[in-house]
Amino acid sequence: MSKYPPNQELPPLGALCLDYTEDIHRPPGDPLNPDSFEFPLVHAFVKDATVTNVVFSGVYDDEFIAKFVEGCNELERKGAIGVITSCGFLAQLQSRISGLINIPIASSSLLQIPSVMALLPPQKKLAILTFDKDNLGKAQFDGVGIPEEYQKRLVVYGAKAGKPLKNIIIEGSGYVAEDFEAEMVELAQEALADTPSVGAFVLECTQMPPTAKAIQKATGLPVYNVVTMIDWFYSGLVPKTFPEDPNKEEGYKTKKRSAKEKGPGN
């Protein structure tokens, strides 16, 4: 089994934290909880990155983008080898910020959409579960380079007012894991009822990964989220170590090859 060295020996990943996230309960599975990963995180807060500015303000202006560049530079100074964020709506940062910083950035779980689409049969659709349906769209999809033909196969379902997720984020309500999980399962089942051709889910919101297991169990479909994206991202930045080969010397031996292994002219 491949593995990482001990946590304290690994270089950290940097996390951009938003201006409204310091008091949100973050259980294991949330990307800002250190128990979600085998590697360490360092953090930088982005001034004025409020819910209004990140989710509800449309296309970001250059001044707002500059605040995230500053945050990435701070994380680099702290030793981060890559950057993640704490909101899937920051997908629109990806293409605008990657050329302005010195270390790689993975801005959103939506980065996985092209890969997940490639895994699905062409007649299948991909459902995105999001914090806010009305504000998730082309700006974010274009930001992470999702081709137009894939965008046509996306169906988006958003958390509803008065339900746990929006109450937790906007109203400051208590975090009851069972209620939040039930909301996300209901949303996934609504997507399937409306669009039976859904073949997989991508969870936009960084609060959603702890509910992924329940969604998968309820629907029987693959579920991808920001944690699956971050695990993949870091695995390229710091490859895992494989066990020592117990048959190393056996590999030294020359093997016979027949014509079926040889190409033309050999």
Q: What is the CATH number of the domain that holds 163?
A: 3.40.50.12500
What secondary structure letter does DSSP report for 222? -
What is the structure's pLDDT at 23?
Answer: 80
Residue-wise pLDDT tens digits, 45-65:
999 999 899 999 899 999 999
Q: Give yes or no for a contact between 208 and 31, defined as CB atoms under 8 angstroms apart.
A: no
CA–CA dist 191, 201 (Å, integer): 9
Q: Does residue 106 belong to any structural domain of this protein?
A: yes
Q: Can you tell me whether residue 87 is helix, strand or coil?
A: coil
Residue-wise pLDDT tens digits, 66-85:
999 999 999 999 999 999 99
Q: Does residue 265 belong to any structural domain of this protein?
A: no
Q: Does residue 62 belong to any structural domain of this protein?
A: yes
Q: Give yes or no for a contact between 192 and 157, defined as CB atoms under 8 angstroms apart.
A: no
Q: Does residue 259 belong to any structural domain of this protein?
A: no
CA–CA dist 60, 139 (Å, integer): 9
In terms of Cβ atoms closer than 10 Å to its own Cβ (0-12, 13-18, 19+), residue 90 is: buried
Q: Does residue 257 belong to any structural domain of this protein?
A: no
Q: Residue 172 sits in which domain range? A: 9-237
Q: How many domains does the chain have?
A: 1
Q: Does residue 3 belong to any structural domain of this protein?
A: no
Residue-wise pLDDT tens digits, 220-252:
999 999 999 999 999 999 999 999 999 999 989
What is the structure's pLDDT at 199?
Answer: 98
- Token representation of residue 90: 């920051």
Q: Does residue 258 belong to any structural domain of this protein?
A: no
Q: Does residue 40 belong to any structural domain of this protein?
A: yes
pTM of the predicted model, to two decimals? 0.93
Q: Give yes or no for a contact between 183 and 161, defined as CB atoms under 8 angstroms apart.
A: no
